[in-house]
Amino acid sequence: MKRLLTLCQPVLLLATLLLGCSKQNSVTPTSNTTEKAGENVSMGANFKIGTLAAPTITCGEATQASINIVVTAGASGAPAGFSVQWMTAADFAANNNTWYASEDTRLCKASFSGNANLSRYNLLANESVTVNIGEFQFDNGASTTCPDALPCGTAYVFRAFAHANSSFQRSAFTPDLACSTLACTSASGCTYTQGYWKTHGPLPTGNNAYVWPQSVKDNGLTLGSVTYTADQLLIILTNPSSGGNGLVAMAHQLIAAKLNIANGSDATAIAASLTAADELIGTLVIPPVGSGALKSSATSDLTTSLANYNEGKTGPGHCE
């Protein structure tokens, strides 16, 4: 028996060594990635547990100068927000029904950050939000390569994707969506958008002229119960409406509506909204001239009504 144990000792030693090597190899990865459910999942600092589900997009209301897009997050939400891209349908068709490359300056893109302060774009699963594609007025958490109003009577193609975050890869693109601005009109006394008045004011942008009505140049405008000079009105128009202060966004559209009326546009369709907006503002002094503030929930309906007038959905129609 003693001789048998002696003979077995080398075999036992070899088995122990082999077992030790096998265990060591089993816990030492051979690369920095592993496979999970058919996907490459990176390890370490850039670890991702999967890919976000693609959102869905639908056409909302349109004016002659803008289109609302309703973005609905997929089953995994859009915790870091989303991006929307668009082209005219004519350009899309001319490009063999394909999208311009991401770096192509002809491609219009807007990013709606879910990480910005007070953002409304960090969507839960199946949650929806409406964004306005057209004349971006420094929307909270949004940036764009195409900030101007859309031309009337024009068809567009849209797509969107959910942004990546620390846990998930960005989603795939949504299917393409076709939407159009409202048809152009040639009505007299047509209206211009707040962006037009901003770039044609006391300090015109580019090659534009200062075309505000003479009555406003001379006497300014009254918003609420406070009268502002033309220079102060321009300061308000160029002030970003981010930060959750609904007074600023409403003031932009109110100024534009009053400039349109002073320029000869019929005020019948917007009279009730003008009165309601002035009553709501009261003695508040609009930033950055003052520090007045109103919740967006209190101003959003009036802001939309005034914008619809300036952009031609109501009233005499938007100027081409």
pLDDT tens-digit readout, 237-251: 998 876 678 999 999
Domain co-membership, 159 together with 208: no
pLDDT at 135: 85
Residue 47 has pLDDT above 90, yes or no: no
Domain co-membership, 241 together with 278: yes
- Tell me the pLDDT tens digit for each residue of 204-241: 998 999 999 999 999 999 999 999 999 999 999 998 87
- Tell me the pLDDT tens digit for each residue of 83-142: 999 999 999 999 999 999 999 999 999 999 998 777 889 999 999 999 999 987 656 678
Phi and psi, residue 205, nearest 5°: -95, 135
Better-scored residue on pLDDT, 23 or 107: 107
Domain co-membership, 55 together with 176: yes
pLDDT at 5: 41
Query: Considering the domain boundaries, does residue 39 fall inside one?
Result: no
Domain co-membership, 153 together with 200: no
Query: Considering the domain boundaries, does residue 54 fall inside one?
Result: yes
Domain co-membership, 232 together with 155: no
Identify the domain boundary among 180, 203, 218.
Answer: 180
Better-scored residue on pLDDT, 105 or 41: 105
Q: Above pLDDT 90, what percent of the chain? A: 72
Query: Considering the domain boundaries, does residue 31 fall inside one?
Result: no
Task: Find the CATH number of the domain harbouring 82.
Answer: 2.60.40.10
Domain of residue 176, residue span: 50-180
Query: Considering the domain boundaries, does residue 146 fall inside one?
Result: yes
- Tell me the pLDDT tens digit for each residue of 141-168: 788 999 889 999 999 999 999 999 999 9
Q: How many domains does the chain divide into?
A: 2
Domain co-membership, 117 together with 167: yes
Structure tokens at 89: 């349908």
Query: Considering the domain boundaries, does residue 73 fall inside one?
Result: yes
Residue 13 has pLDDT above 60, yes or no: no
pLDDT at 184: 87
Q: Above pLDDT 70, what percent of the chain? A: 83
Identify the domain boundary among 180, 210, 229.
Answer: 180
Identify the domain boundary among 134, 154, 180.
Answer: 180
Domain co-membership, 207 together with 260: yes
**What's the predicted TM-score (pTM) here?**
0.74
Q: What is the mean pLDDT of residues 75-81?
A: 96
Query: Considering the domain boundaries, does residue 40 fall inside one?
Result: no
Between 7-16, 231-240, 279-288, 297-306, the lowest mean confidence (pLDDT) is in 7-16
Query: Considering the domain boundaries, does residue 11 fall inside one?
Result: no
Query: Considering the domain boundaries, does residue 140 fall inside one?
Result: yes
- Tell me the pLDDT tens digit for each residue of 247-280: 999 999 999 999 999 999 999 999 999 999 999 9
- Tell me the pLDDT tens digit for each residue of 173-184: 999 999 999 998
Domain co-membership, 56 together with 176: yes
Residue 42 has pLDDT above 60, yes or no: no
Residue 320 has pLDDT above 80, yes or no: no
pLDDT at 156: 98
Domain co-membership, 165 together with 243: no
Q: Specify burial of residue 237 (Cβ count, 10 A radius: 0-12, 13-18, 19+).
A: buried
Domain co-membership, 78 together with 133: yes
Domain co-membership, 67 together with 128: yes
Residue 57 has pLDDT above 80, yes or no: yes
Residue of 60, 145, 49, 52 lying closest to 105 (CA atoms): 145
pLDDT at 48: 64
